[in-house]
């Protein structure tokens, strides 16, 4: 059995676009990586591939969709299985809401040696969080009123911490030690939306400092990567950009922002970084 990498992402995190672009680059020999066998089922990314080939923005994967999707990657002499056990992003949301993992997720977590977590910083919501509440006269006046569940909805920052804690528990991690076996790559997606020249680490620290503190408190720095990703390269909302995709092909676009701030057009390098 090959090395297993588990890919994790909430809805709208660009996971589908990345997988579509990743596969297209493999098919067009735009990567050093290969497939060591054919993919069993391409239906989870077929819609995204067709949309991108037509210069259109892919639609979000339906929340009810639940499809096993594996990419069997040949990396030099090593075989690597890139896994998305439950493809619809809502499945990840349900894990935190229900505090429960199904058999497929549990198996994938236990068998994997590396996790890739997609976070779209430009799409992070920060509703009123219990940890942010400061007691004031206004709170005193309304103390006798019932507080709706929606008002104290968990923030995305707390969501990602809770999700990783659930995964670490399923993995059977020793909380008394820094993680020096399980590798974690945080991928800040849709980088082109952010209009920044900063490094991925600095952007995560600025937007989700509590999450970064959790990561650095639980992972040996050698086993933690923070990378930026623009799977498309740019928005497909203008006629000019749509035309570029139709003429040149989706596989020509997309880039990674490496930890030192430099860019590379080979988005498949993400897997190599996840295993370094």
Q: What is the mean pLDDT of the chain?
A: 86
pLDDT of 155 > 50? The answer is yes
252: DSSP letter: G
Q: Does residue 255 form part of some domain? A: yes
In a domain, 53, yes or no: yes
- Which residue has tokens 């008002």? 151
β-pairing, 183-188 vs 224-230, is: parallel
Angstrom distance (rounded) from CA 57 to CA 144: 48
- Number of structural domains the chain divides into: 1
Number of residues that make up the chain? 276
Cα separation of 111 and 109, whole Å? 6
Q: Is residue 261 part of a domain?
A: yes
Structure tokens at 135: 């007691």
Q: What is the CATH number of the domain that holds 201?
A: 3.40.50.300
Q: pTM here?
A: 0.87
pLDDT at 152 over 70: no
Asked if 119 contacts 188 with a C-beta cutoff of 8 angstroms, the reply is yes
Q: Is residue 222 in a domain?
A: yes
Note the pLDDT tens digit of each residue in 4-58: 899 999 888 999 899 999 999 998 988 889 999 988 888 888 889 999 999 998 8
Inter-residue contact 275 to 80 (CB < 8 Å): yes
Per-residue pLDDT, 59: 76
Query: Which three-class secondary structure state does DSSP give residue 130?
Result: helix
CB 2 within 8 A of CB 78: yes
pLDDT in tens, 93-117: 889 999 999 888 999 999 999 999 9
Residue 142 domain flag: no
Domain holding 132, by residue range, is 3-136+147-275
Q: Which two tokens stand for residue 192?
A: 């082109």
pLDDT value of residue 133? 54
Do the domain assignments include residue 141? Answer: no
């Amino acid at each position: 059995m090959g090395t297993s990498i588990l890919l994790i992402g909430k809805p709208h995190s660009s996971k589908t676009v990345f997988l579509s672009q990743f596969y297209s680059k493999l098919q067009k020999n735009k990567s050093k990586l290969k497939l060591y066998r054919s993919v069993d089922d391409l239906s989870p990314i077929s819609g995204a591939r067709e949309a991108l080939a037509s210069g259109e923005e892919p639609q979000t994967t339906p929340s009810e969709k639940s499809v096993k999707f594996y990419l069997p990657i040949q990396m030099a002499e090593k075989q690597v299985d890139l896994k998305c056990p439950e493809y619809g992003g809502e499945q990840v949301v349900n894990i935190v809401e229900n505090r429960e993992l199904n058999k497929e997720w549990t198996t994938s977590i236990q068998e994997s040696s590396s996790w890739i977590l997609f976070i779209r910083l430009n799409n992070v919501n920060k509703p009123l969080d219990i940890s942010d509440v400061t007691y004031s006269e206004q709170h005193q006046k309304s103390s006798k009123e019932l507080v709706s569940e929606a008002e104290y909805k968990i923030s995305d920052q707390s969501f990602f911490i809770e999700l990783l804690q659930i995964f670490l528990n399923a993995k059977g991690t020793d909380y008394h030690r820094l993680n020096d076996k399980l590798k974690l790559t945080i991928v800040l997606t849709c980088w082109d939306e952010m209009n920044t020249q900063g490094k991925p680490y600095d952007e995560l620290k600025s937007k989700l400092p509590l999450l970064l503190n959790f990561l650095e408190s639980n992972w040996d720095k050698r086993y933690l990567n923070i990378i930026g990703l623009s799977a498309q390269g740019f928005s497909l909302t203008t006629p000019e950009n749509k035309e570029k995709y139709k003429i040149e092909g989706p596989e020509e676009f997309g880039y990674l922002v490496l930890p030192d701030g430099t860019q590379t057009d080979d988005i498949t390098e993400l897997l190599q970084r996840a295993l370094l």
